[in-house]
Amino acid sequence: MKNLLYIFLGGGTGSILRFLISTYTQKLWNVNAFPIGTFLVNISGCFLIGCLSAYFLKIDNSLKYLLITGLCGGYTTFSTFSAENFSLYENSNYSMLIFYSLFSLFIGILMVFLGFQVVKN
């Protein structure tokens, strides 16, 4: 139960950070149509989950639920997606790495389109 509380607190904090960083970055660097705020959040989230994952390999405690699952998960799910792809790479599962990456991207875009169409009509 304690781990669920950690995930809850970290997730809320990560979501707030994502909103603030993305919004203010986009306002500061308004680069035409490029979503620089979301890009910065995704890339920094990937770096953060890499650092935290390496750290928590050395020690095992409940803070990983607060910081990795909660904070990084709330901050950006792209970081989790990237960490999973890195794991596939580390395990030399290259065909699954390519399949998972391309399939996720294709199906994700398709689902956004379908969801948009369902609500729009």
Reading the chain (121 residues) residue by residue, the pLDDT tens digits are 999 999 999 999 999 999 999 889 888 887 666 778 888 898 998 899 989 988 888 888 889 999 999 999 999 878 878 988 999 999 999 999 999 999 989 998 888 788 888 888 6
Q: Is residue 115 part of a domain?
A: no
How open is the CA angle 72-74-76, to the nearest 5 degrees?
65
Per-residue pLDDT at 119? 83
Please give the pLDDT value at position 121.
66
Question: Domain for residue 96, yes or no?
Answer: no
Domain count, the chain: 1
Determine if residue 76 is labeled as part of a ligand binding site.
yes
Which residues form the domain of 13?
Answer: 2-76
Residue 69 among known ligand-binding residues: no
Whether the CB-CB separation of 81 and 100 falls below 8 Å is answered with: no
pLDDT of residue 11: 96
Q: State residue 113's pLDDT score.
A: 85
Q: Answer yes or no: is 45 within a domain.
A: yes
* pLDDT, position 33: 67
